[in-house]
Structure 1
C-alpha cells in the first residue's frame, strides 16, 4: 500500500533533521516525492518529535518562516521549523521563493 499523496495544509517532517513544512500549494496531478537532506519527508503526525540537530551546530539550510518552491513553481512549502537538510522535490532542489515587490506609492 502506498502513502496518500500530500495535499494543501498537510504538515511534513524530515527524518534526517529538524525541518518541518506545511504544503501551501500543490499541483493538481499529484506531488512528486518531497525530501529533505536526501530522505523522504513523512507526515508530521507520524514522528514522535523533532530529531536532535546535527552535531557541530551548522547553519540551517531551511529557514523558519520562508517559502520554498519547486522548479516549475507549482509546489510551495512553508517552513515551520528550521533544519540542516535541503528541501527537494522529485530529486530537484527547491529554491527560496522571492518576495513580491510592493507597488510604488507615488
Structure 2
C-alpha cells in the first residue's frame, strides 16, 4: 500500500488516508478496509467501536503505520487485530 491511498471502512463511515504503511491488513471496526466501500456493511466489532476523529493521525506502537482520518465514524482503527492510537502533537518551542 502506498502513501496517499484512501481507504474506506466496511463497518462504518470512517475514511482514512495512508501516510505510512507496511505489510499488514488495515482494519476499521474489526473489518478490513478497502479503496471502495462494499454494498453490504460489515458488523461493527465491540472491541473496535471507540470511533475515529476527523483530522487526527493514528499510529501503531512500532511506528510502521500512520493513517490520517479524513472522515470520522463509529469504528476504531487497527492493523492485524492490534489497535492504533492517536498520534500526539509535537510540542511547540518556547518563545522566550
TM class by shorter chain equals 0.7 to 0.9
TM-score (norm 1): 0.76
Residue equivalent to 2:91 = 101
Q: Of 14, 23, 26, which residue of structure 2 is paired with 1:19?
A: 14
TM-score (structure 2 length as normaliser)? 0.83
Question: Aligned residue pairs: how many?
Answer: 89
Measure the CA separation in 2 of the matches of 1:47 and 1:16. Answer: 9
Displacement over 2 Å in runs of 4+: 46-49
What is the correspondence of 1:30-41 to structure 2 with a 5 Å cutoff?
A: 30-41=22-33
2: distance between equivalents of 1:9 and 1:31?
16
Task: Please tell me whether the aligned partners of residues 6 and 16 of structure 2 are also in contact (alpha carbons under 8 angstroms).
Answer: yes
Residue number in structure 2 paired with 1:7: 2
| Root-mean-square deviation (Å) | 2.1
- Could you tell me whether the CA contact under 8 Å between 2:10 and 2:38 is conserved in 1? no
The 1-side partners of 2:78 and 2:66 are apart by 11
Give the distance between the partners of 1:22 and 1:71, measured in 2 at CA.
19
Q: Secondary structure at the match of 1:79?
A: strand
**1:38-79 C-alpha deviation (Å, 9 max, x unpaired):** 100011xx2379x7xx9xxxx961001000001211210000
- The aligned residue for residue 90 of structure 1 is 80
* Unmatched segments (≥5 aa) in structure 1: 1-5
